[in-house]
Amino acid sequence: MESKLIELGVETFKIALYLALPGLLVGMLIGLAVSIFQATTQINEMTLSFIPKIIGVVIVIVLTMPWMLNEMIDFSTHIFALIPTFIE
């Protein structure tokens, strides 16, 4: 019983990381590009690094939303199927 709960916890963390990864990667890549741009032009404006990251992450979330929704539906279906195994 305890091993099933541990496996479920690990699977939950994996799916959370799997779903967050596209947005995090885009935010990191845009941040790197903006940092290189700021270093070469010597422009140190805080909003210059903040606004493009928000826009990029929102675009990625909108584009990957159907995939994310399907992953969450599959995970939820799997969790609901496991409920009878936890009742003893």
Give 67's Cβ-side CA count (13 Å radius): 11
Low-confidence ranges of the chain (pLDDT < 70): 88
Angle, nearest 10°, between helix axes 46-86 and 2-41?
A: 170
Residue 22, judged by CB atoms within 10 A of its CB (0-12, 13-18, 19+), counts as middle
pLDDT of residue 68: 96
pLDDT of residue 67: 96
